[in-house]
Amino acid sequence: MYKQIFLKPKKEESLKRFHPWVFSGAISHTDNPVEEGEIVEIYDSAKNFIALGHSQIGSIAVRVLSFEKEEINEIFWVKRIRESASARTSLGVSHSTTHSIYRLVHGEGDLLPGLIVDVYGKTAVMQAHSIGMHVHRHAIADAIIHVLSPNVSAVYYKSSGTLPYKADIDVEDGFLVGNSTEGTALENGLAFYIDWLKGQKTGFFIDQRDNRSLLEKYANGKSILNMFCYTGGFSVYALRGGASMVHSVDSSAKAIDLTNKNVTLNFPNDTRHTAFATDAFKFLAEMDNAYDIIVLDPPAFAKHRDALKNALQGYKRLNAKAIEKIKPGGILFTFSCSQIVSKEQFRLAVFSAAAITGRHVRILHQLTQPADHPISIYHPEGEYLKGLVMMVE
């Protein structure tokens, strides 16, 4: 059937605890040369079957798809997409009359490592982070339609920026199934214009949904600064929550256009909102408004381990400025989406920021990613979004 990979003695331990990766250093030998993206079976040194998955060249040599011996075919993909979809239904985030934005597949958290699928109304946007998922893209797209039709009728493939560059394959983004020009979808009754063609990630940051809802609860009568606004998600929720004034800031002019578009979609002719295309640090240094609430949701400051120290320094500097400037009794929502920055490290950076200002700061909420971005308990690396909501006296 599939080619076989044999592990060195004792190297099966983490797999037996359902960790979904095999590191190259754990491999003793293979029965035949393995091609990148191919399905391989993994055996322990006593030749017992452990798991099967996608092979890849690099330090993560295999990404596990199943801990059972099974055929990876159309039936497999339909079964697994159906499992992911029914989990989303039971979480209450799948299609309804007021909601059509959710993450259908969250990589390792759905035991589909290397695959992200986000749903925006009738369109599913699929992103492969491994060659194996790229190889299977058509079967996966067909499975998505099979399971989610008629709610979803198109699958857009967006992997040109996410596949490992070493693989040296030419990938073009485009529709694998259907076609959709419909650009808006609903999140908790709010409409968002999603630019999956040119937008960041799959076009929208679904992972902040619950945290945007929390902001909405605090927003009534408040002046709010949404820093690093991108599509303006936090701003739109704040406006619905009754904010007296919302300022959105992003250094990208395209992001500011999207924010203005989304505000207008939901609150046409609302004069409470203004957006600024400028650098966050510059805005914070120069602003004379004291806000009741500040949201800081910067891009990942560290994508690689060697950038960790600078990233922590960046979080400290940014948070210190916001804590220094926020109104007495103000509330700061602060986030880090850097996977390599731990919850503890982020909190320490914010602690150092608070200490610089000398203000009294209390933690009200500790936030993370929502339920459609599940974290396998055996793969804690999947936890990437960290947030603190703090009251500054």
CA–CA separation, 13 vs 159, rounded Å? Answer: 32
**Taking contact as CB under 6 A, which single stretch among the options 174-182, 248-256, 354-362, 372-380 is the one that binds ligand SAH?**
248-256
Nearer to ligand SAH, 149 or 313 (CB): 313
Give how many residues touch ligand SAH by CB under 6 A. Answer: 18
Q: Which residue has the tokens 């958290």?
A: 109
Are 83 and 91 in contact, with CB atoms under 8 Å apart?
Answer: no
Nearer to ligand SAH, 42 or 294 (CB): 294
The verdict on 251 binding ligand SAH (CB under 6 A) reads yes
- Measured CA to CA in angstroms, residue 95 lies from 49, 102, 149, 179, 180 at distances of 39, 8, 11, 19, 17
Nearer to ligand SAH, 19 or 106 (CB): 106
10 Å CB burial of residue 29 (0-12, 13-18, 19+) is: exposed
Chain positions 253 to 312 lying near ligand SAH, rule: CB under 6 A, are 255, 279-280, 297-299
Q: Using the rule CB under 6 A, which residue among 41, 118, 216, 250 binds ligand SAH?
A: 250
Q: Using the rule CB under 6 A, which residue among 205, 276, 315, 333 binds ligand SAH?
A: 205
The verdict on 213 binding ligand SAH (CB under 6 A) reads no
The verdict on 228 binding ligand SAH (CB under 6 A) reads yes
Partner residues linked to 156 by β-bridges: 125, 175
Cα(first)–Cα(last) distance of the chain, in Å? 65
- Mutual orientation of helices 233-240 and 209-218 as an angle, nearest 10°? 40
Least distance CB 322 / ligand SAH (angstroms): 13
Q: What's 84's DSSP letter? A: H
Q: Using the rule CB under 6 A, which residue among 94, 208, 248, 338 binds ligand SAH?
A: 208
Nearest-CA neighbor of 375 among 210, 233, 207?
207
Chain positions 115 to 144 lying near ligand SAH, rule: CB under 6 A, are none
Which stretches of the chain bind ligand SAH, using CB under 6 A?
A: 205, 208, 228-231, 233-234, 249-252, 255, 279-280, 297-299
